[in-house]
């Protein structure tokens, strides 16, 4: 009988492969990548969807959790299938 790899085994294999080829882990492992520009702009790559959105909070689904952005006058400026650009006064970013 064949052993089917668990999700954790697959994750470790992907991370090892990324290390071996010296590739960014977010490419192979579909990990979120967050780029902050001061407290006025945030780019999130590799997200899975929007959970909650208003001008003070933005909850985004990512692999194995969510990213919560709190602030004032938050708006989504660019909305692509795997990339999201947020603008406004960013007060906090939390990874849950």
Q: Which is more confident, 59 or 8?
A: 59
Q: E strands, 1-96, where? A: 33-37, 41-45, 49-53, 57-62, 65-79, 83-95
Write down the pLDDT at residue 31. Answer: 80
91, 72 Cβ separation under 8 angstroms: yes
pTM: 0.71
User: Which domains does the chain possess?
Assistant: 1-31 (no CATH), 32-95 (2.60.40.2000)
Distance of CA 8 to the CA centre of its chain: 19
Q: Which is more confident, 7 or 57?
A: 57
> Is pLDDT of 3 > 60?
no
Between CA 74 and CA 67 the distance in angstroms is 14
End-to-end CA distance of the chain: 37
Per residue in 16-72, pLDDT tens?
656 666 655 555 557 888 999 999 999 999 899 999 999 999 999 998 899 999 999
């Amino acid at each position: 009988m064949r052993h089917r790899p668990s999700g954790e085994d697959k994750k470790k294999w992907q991370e090892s492969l990324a290390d071996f080829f010296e590739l960014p882990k977010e490419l192979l492992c579909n990990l979120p990548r967050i780029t902050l520009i001061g407290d006025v702009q945030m780019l999130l790559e590799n997200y899975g969807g929007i959970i909650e959105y208003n001008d003070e909070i933005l909850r985004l689904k990512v692999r194995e959790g969510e990213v919560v952005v709190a602030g004032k006058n938050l708006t989504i400026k660019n909305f692509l299938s795997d990339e999201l650009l947020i603008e406004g006064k960013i007060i906090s970013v939390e990874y849950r």
